[in-house]
Structure 1
Amino acid sequence: MGALKLYVFNIRDDRKFYKMATIVIAIDESKFAQFAFKWYAEHLHKDGYRIILFHALENLFMKDLMGPGRHEEFNVRTEKKTAALREMYTKLAQELKINPEIRIEIVDTKPEHAIVDVANKENAKFIVTGTRGMGAIRRTILGSTSEFIMHHARCPVIICKMD
């Protein structure tokens, strides 16, 4: 695996913290998300953790404004993407000997908001996410999912960066 820059905030090291902890790992089809999951498995995973691999599909279309053909096309593409992502992470989890819950949801908000919401609702002990490592100008214009999560999550966030 490549070099890693790791940012860890407020991680406690007591036994209660680790017992039956829920961990949310943000996933997508990118090599960055796969790297973050592998890094988590190698460095942080403990037996008894409840792992949620979470992907938010942003609902970019308003169903009321789509014709039936467009709506069906959207549903077919969404189902294919969901199946491919689920299959990819099921295989990866088997290789890593981890039994996660794979949760893929269509959301009416930005994915980073949904990730923080899930972590909050599930009372996650921490969130693991990858990062694409955009430059400062691009990040300023487009925003950064990992930065948003880091600044808005109630729990610690681990950002895994590939070099």
Structure 2
Amino acid sequence: MVDSMFSVIHEQTVWSLKSSVMRMVTNTMGQQEIVVLIAVDGGEDSEYAFHWYVNHFHKAENRLILVHCPETYANVTMMSPGRVQELIKECETKVKSIQDKFLEKMKSHGIQGEFIRLNGDKPGYQIVECAVNKKATFIVTGTRGQSKVRRTIMGSVSDYIVHHSPIPVLVCRHKLPSEIEKEEKERLKKEVKEKSAAPASKEKKEDKKH
């Protein structure tokens, strides 16, 4: 019963968000270009958010801006010059990998836009600032799935964006492994049921012919 309750709440929340964003986008059509800013990193959360946006909200005329703020390291002054150079090289390699991956995804979906690297140690602030400067219509960000009690609690970056952004924010919650497993079981169960029902339906049609 608890699972069903949370499932209903989640579906209602998703529908509410989708309806709100679609109304907002519809109201701005004809007035300005629809600019969508998505915060991405190397994790599954941002990849899920990207695909969720593409599958549910993207329009061919929308312009997409992907932003990434590289991880910063504390106590750099305590490290040797050699270690600092290693970290810089690792960071550059990671950023290049993330950029190439998401630009390829945009290309495969025929999406026009750009990838922007942000610098600094306050990603939430920088993402909001970039969205404002680029005149984004709304921001899309991912957040990890949580337990049933804490699933509405977001990570610090998403939390900052939601509370400080002057423009609408769409948060795509990454599904929990248990939810994905449950959906897969339900899909397989439905598939088996449909296959077993097919022969019976065919037999009924044959009987009618005779």
TM bucket (normalised to shorter chain) is 0.7 to 0.9
Q: CA deviation at 1:152?
A: 0.7
Report the more deviating stretch, 85-94 or 54-63. 54-63
Are the counterparts in 2 of residues 133 and 161 from structure 1 also a CA contact under 8 Å? yes
Counting only pairs closer than 5 Å after superposition, residues 52-63 of structure 1 correspond to structure 2 as: 52-61=65-74
Are the counterparts in 1 of residues 41 and 98 from structure 2 also a CA contact under 8 Å? yes
Report the more deviating stretch, 98-107 or 56-65. 56-65
CA deviation profile, 1:13-52 (whole Å, cap 9, x unmatched): 22235x4122110111122211111111122222332211
The structure richer in helix per residue is: 2
- In the alignment, structure 1 segments of 5+ residues that lack a partner are none
C-alpha separation between the residues in 2 aligned to 1:138 and 1:159?
Answer: 12
Percent identical: 30
C-alpha separation between the residues in 2 aligned to 1:134 and 1:144?
Answer: 14
C-alpha separation between the residues in 2 aligned to 1:38 and 1:81?
Answer: 21
3-state SS of the aligned residue for 2:119?
A: strand
**Structure 2 counterpart of 1:106:** 119
Q: 2:159 aligns with which of 131, 147, 152?
A: 147
Are the counterparts in 2 of residues 27 and 129 from structure 1 also a CA contact under 8 Å? yes
C-alpha separation between the residues in 2 aligned to 1:44 and 1:34?
Answer: 15
Q: CA deviation at 1:139?
A: 8.5
**Are 1:157 and 2:169 an aligned pair?**
yes
**Are 1:118 and 2:123 an aligned pair?**
no
- In the alignment, structure 2 segments of 5+ residues that lack a partner are 1-9, 176-210
**Structure 1 counterpart of 2:87:** 74
**Structure 2 counterpart of 1:16:** 30
Q: CA deviation at 1:156?
A: 0.3
Are the counterparts in 1 of residues 144 and 155 from structure 2 also a CA contact under 8 Å? no
TM norm structure 2? 0.64
TM norm structure 1? 0.81
User: Quick one: which amino acid aligns to residue 166 of structure 2?
Assistant: R
C-alpha separation between the residues in 1 aligned to 2:69 and 2:105?
Answer: 19
Q: CA deviation at 1:56?
A: 0.7
Are the counterparts in 2 of residues 129 and 159 from structure 1 also a CA contact under 8 Å? yes
3-state SS of the aligned residue for 2:106?
A: helix
CA RMSD of the aligned region, Å? 2.7
Q: CA deviation at 1:127?
A: 0.2
**Structure 2 counterpart of 1:46:** 59
